[in-house]
């Protein structure tokens, strides 16, 4: 497993020709990404393994996401497939905190989707409020709120998020068919 890169280290590697692969959803990518990064949503990594392998051999890969959790998962998948890739510690959040610029992409209006962390906060908050409101009539419904709270604590401790994994499967969060075509083109470009 590679040692995660700091933003300045990644900036240096980009200057040397490494390709950055952003594994967030297309809408998250559009809102701000490392300049020159190619969007390959995490769920698409397996489908693009041959393309990723060729790019890694030709110029090297660095994988990023928002905070580092999805890029770590992507790097593990790549490593299992025998593909060498580095990850950016702290993701685009760390990149931006280091004072480095983010590029913004345009998406068609119908594809604008909230960032995953915002979707998780909304869904968790709505479920907690629902559990508390229904719990006024049916006390056991408060267990829903307790379950969501426990899931959030586990998410914070483990660095994973089950709710994000579930939300990522919703149709509005799935990559548009052109996303894979654009990713392939970016990997070979």
Q: Among candidates 30, 26, 20, which has minimal Cα distance to 60?
A: 20
pLDDT digits (tens, 9 = 90+) for 139-166: 999 999 999 999 999 988 887 888 988 8
The catalytic residues are: 65
E strand or H helix at 161, and its extent?
none
The pTM is what? 0.72
Separation CA 29–CA 103 (nearest Å): 9
Sign of CA dihedral 112, 117, 118, 120: positive
Rounded mean pLDDT of 74-84? 94
Q: Among candidates 42, 67, 56, which has minimal Cα distance to 2?
A: 56
E strand or H helix at 116, and its extent?
helix 116-135
pLDDT value of residue 118? 85
CATH (one of 3.40.30.10, 3.40.50.300, 3.40.250.10, 1.25.40.340) for 7-108+175-188:
3.40.250.10
Q: What ranges do the domains of the chain cover?
A: 7-108+175-188, 116-167
Mean pLDDT of the chain: 87
SS3 at position 89: coil
Separation CA 77–CA 73 (nearest Å): 6
């Amino acid at each position: 497993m590679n040692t995660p890169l700091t933003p300045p280290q990644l900036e240096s590697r980009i200057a040397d020709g490494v390709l950055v692969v952003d594994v967030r959803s297309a809408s998250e990518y559009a809102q701000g990404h490392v300049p020159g990064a190619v969007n390959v949503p995490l769920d698409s990594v397996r489908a693009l393994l041959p393309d990723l392998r060729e790019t890694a051999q030709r110029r090297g890969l660095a994988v990023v996401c928002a905070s580092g959790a999805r890029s770590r998962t992507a790097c593990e998948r790549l490593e299992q497939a025998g593909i060498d890739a580095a990850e950016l510690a702290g993701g685009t959040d760390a990149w931006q905190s280091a004072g480095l610029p983010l590029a913004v992409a345009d998406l068609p209006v119908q594809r604008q989707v909230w960032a995953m962390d915002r979707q998780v906060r909304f869904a968790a908050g709505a479920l907690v409020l629902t559990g508390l409101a229904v719990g006024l009539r049916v006390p056991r419904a408060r267990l829903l709120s307790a379950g969501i709270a426990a899931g959030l604590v586990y998410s914070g401790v483990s660095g994973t998020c089950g709710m994000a994994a579930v939300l990522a499967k919703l149709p509005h969060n799935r990559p548009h068919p052109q996303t894979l075509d654009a990713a392939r083109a970016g990997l070979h470009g």
